[in-house]
Structure 1
């Protein structure tokens, strides 16, 4: 079973991961901008993540995700992507709304719920004819409502 993490911890791990993937390095300033918090708050929380073995951080140096931190962050990011894809594909939400909503709900859904959404989306990818039929039904429902 996955470790239950706080919303804040998940937000930090996901932001750290995205910065690392995008820029190759993680800096306090970039993380503060991404999370819209002040650098001292970042430093305080990085110390907590370091104590949990999720990051390596020495003040005034670059931040590094540990192997455990990378695994946790990848899992959080995969949840986010799956939820966004679900919201866009089945609810026909535009990208920006799906992004915001995925961010809002990704931390609160039970793992079983997210895993079933992922399985459903994988099923649709493997069975495009079924997805096409469902998409037509959904399209018609939105036209009527």
Structure 2
């Protein structure tokens, strides 16, 4: 399933928060992204319907295998693009992180793979 940029941001945030805290709830996502709880709740419903997350009775949000795979791919793009911007273009880390967050959603696989190869060399 092809997600909109916002859906990809939610998946990436769930992955990062889960790695950081070991659990994720809607309020954690709302706080991290500075979004309203109703906005996050609506997005979680969409991700759940798409089979990308499950929501436990206690409110804990888990990535499904498909959700985890997508979130990991998104996060990999983010990290590699950020690294590319810092190492190759000597962009400040904070700006590189901000720019990578936007670029990760629109970059072609061909360009991404070439950036990856360039960083290997």
Query: What TM-score, normalized by structure 2, do the two folds share?
Result: 0.94
Residue in structure 2 matched with residue 77 of structure 1 by the alignment: 75
- Is the Cα contact below 8 Å between 1:84 and 1:98 reproduced in 2? yes
Select between 106-115 and 11-20 the one with higher mean Cα deviation: 106-115
SS in 2 for 1:64: strand
Residue in structure 1 matched with residue 3 of structure 2 by the alignment: 5
Runs of 4+ in 1 over 2 A off after TM superposition: none
SS in 1 for 2:91: coil
Alignment of 1:1-145 (within 5 A): 3-58=1-56, 61-122=59-120, 124=121
Number of aligned residue pairs:
121
Query: What TM-score, normalized by structure 1, do the two folds share?
Result: 0.79
> Larger RCO: Structure 1 or Structure 2 (Cα < 8 Å, ≥ 6 residues apart)?
2
Q: Report the CA distance shift for 1:59/1:38 in structure 2 as closer, same or farther (over 3 A).
A: farther
Cα RMSD (Å) of the superposition?
1.3
Q: Bigger radius of gyration, 1 or 2?
A: 1
- Alpha-carbon offset, residue 58 of structure 1: 4.7
Unaligned runs of 5+ in 2: none
Unaligned runs of 5+ in 1: 125-145
Distance in 1 of aligned mates of 2:21 and 2:66? 20
- Alpha-carbon offset, residue 12 of structure 1: 0.5
